[in-house]
């Protein structure tokens, strides 16, 4: 089953079930409220999904999950989980014959990233992207701030989690996403990785409740006007990764602060290829597309570059 969240022209919100070209509207205004209310499935109307997806309806798509308090939605990710992404990262930071930290981290995952059931494996790379305030929906722009050096797509699958009243992490489902990072800034120095991830990102348009994550085939593309400037076939899922899903989830939720009842977590599982690794630099107005089999309609976002002069942020004393 796949869900979307939509917003009407009057400000009304709805959760809807995707049924082909039709959206079956539910009474719940948000997925968060739908979960808290016991996941009722009674219909409360319908809408034309083709029109909504194309932006030609009174309804528009929102990220398929969010939190009424955006600060209580943690957006994060795991890197160096795919061979291609590890090779790209290694090439970015290769300074000599010795293995880089990226290569060593990936190899650790190969050796100990898929432990036997009930066992704990090696910790994967982990990064913080921001709160729920950075989430963007299908069709919304991903921004390169004035102070940033670049912005590039990273086509991935993200896990969506809700912490229940007992403090137990519950996987709601998964969604395709564009993790979006500043690769130019990161390439200058590996220690810039943390800052390079603090950007907007997108998920959706659909939340897949019963997603299969064994082997997932997909594609990504960057279009400039009528031209496709880059495209790639993708492979993700546990078969294509050096860490098991259970190991990634353990190392994310082992922290007490990541198990606060009522919180949401959106965690990206890593990219197998991205345009920056092929020497492509995106430009203002480019359109990024992410599509994975079994995860609904493609996720498309334009790139918006803030070309203004960066301004100094001054801190005042109270």
89 or 33, which is more confident: 33
Residue 9 lies inside a defined structural domain of this protein: yes
pLDDT at 89 over 60: no
Does a structural domain hold residue 216? yes
Same domain, 121 and 6: no
- Strands (E) across 31-118 are located at 43-48, 59-62, 73-79
Residue 90 has pLDDT above 90, yes or no: no
Return the pLDDT at 109. 87
181 pLDDT exceeds 60? Answer: yes
DSSP assignment letter at 240: G
Check pLDDT > 60 for residue 271: yes
- Total count of domains within the chain: 2
Specify whether 208 is located in the same domain as 180: yes
The rounded mean pLDDT for the chain is 94
pTM for the structure as a whole: 0.93
Percentage with pLDDT > 70 across the chain = 95
Question: What CATH number has the domain bearing residue 184?
Answer: 3.90.850.10
Q: Picking from 102-106, 153-157, 196-200, which range would have the lowest pLDDT averaged per residue?
A: 102-106
Instruction: List the CATH number of the domain containing 24.
Output: 3.10.330
Rounded to whole angstroms, the Cα distance separating 164 from 169 reads: 7
pLDDT reading at 122 higher than 70 = yes
- The answer on pLDDT for 248 being more than 60 is yes
Contact indicator for 310, 244 with CB cutoff of 8 Å: no
Q: How far is CA 174 from CA 101, 159, 197, 210, 268, in A?
A: 29, 5, 20, 8, 10
Do 103 and 50 share a structural domain? no
Residue 314 resides in a domain: no
Task: Write down the pLDDT at residue 265.
Answer: 98
Pick the range with the lowest mean pLDDT from 29-43, 66-80, 86-100, 118-132: 86-100
Q: Decide if pLDDT at 222 tops 60.
A: yes
Nearest to 301 by CA among 55, 81, 100: 55
Q: 315 lies in a domain?
A: no
Residue 53: give the domain boundaries. 2-62
Is 116 in the same domain as 190? Answer: yes
22/150 same-domain check:
no
Single out the residue in 30, 62, 94 at which a domain terminates. Answer: 62
Burial 193-203 (b: 16+ CB within 10 A, else e): beebbebbbbb
* CA-to-CA dists, residue 10 to 6, 13, 31, 58, 132, angstroms: 12, 9, 19, 9, 23
Q: What is the mean pLDDT of residues 89-102?
A: 62
At 296-308, the pLDDT tens digits run 999 999 999 999 9
**Residue 99 scores a pLDDT above 90:** no
């Amino acid at each position: 089953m796949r869900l979307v969240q939509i917003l009407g022209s009057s400000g009304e919100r709805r959760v809807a079930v995707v049924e082909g070209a039709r959206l079956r509207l539910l009474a719940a205004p948000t997925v968060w409220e739908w979960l808290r209310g016991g996941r009722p499935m009674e219909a409360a109307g319908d809408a034309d999904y083709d029109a909504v997806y194309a932006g030609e309806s009174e309804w528009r798509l929102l990220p398929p999950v969010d939190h009424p308090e955006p600060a209580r939605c943690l957006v994060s990710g795991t890197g160096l989980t795919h061979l291609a992404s590890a090779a790209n990262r290694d090439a970015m930071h290769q300074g000599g014959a010795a293995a880089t930290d990226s290569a060593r981290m990936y190899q650790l995952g190969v050796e100990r990233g898929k432990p036997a059931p009930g066992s704990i494996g090696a910790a994967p790379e982990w990064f913080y992207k921001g709160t729920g305030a950075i989430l963007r929906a299908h069709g919304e722009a991903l921004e390169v701030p004035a102070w940033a050096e670049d912005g590039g797509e990273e086509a991935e699958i993200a896990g969506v989690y809700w912490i229940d009243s007992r403090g137990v992490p519950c996987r709601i489902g998964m969604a395709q996403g564009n993790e979006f990072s500043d690769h130019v800034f990161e390439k200058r120095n590996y220690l810039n990785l943390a800052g390079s991830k603090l950007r907007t990102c997108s998920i959706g348009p659909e939340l897949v409740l019963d997603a299969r994550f064994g082997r997932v085939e997909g594609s990504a593309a960057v279009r400039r006007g009528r031209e496709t400037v880059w495209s790639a076939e993708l492979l993700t899922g546990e078969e294509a990764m050096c860490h098991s899903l259970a190991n990634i989830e353990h190392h994310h939720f082992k922290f007490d602060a990541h198990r606060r009842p009522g919180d949401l977590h959106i965690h990206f599982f890593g990219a197998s290829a991205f345009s920056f690794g092929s020497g492509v630099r995106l430009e203002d107005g480019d359109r990024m597309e992410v599509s994975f089999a079994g995860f609904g309609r493609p996720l498309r976002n334009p790139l918006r570059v803030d070309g203004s002069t960066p301004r100094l942020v001054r801190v005042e004393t109270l």
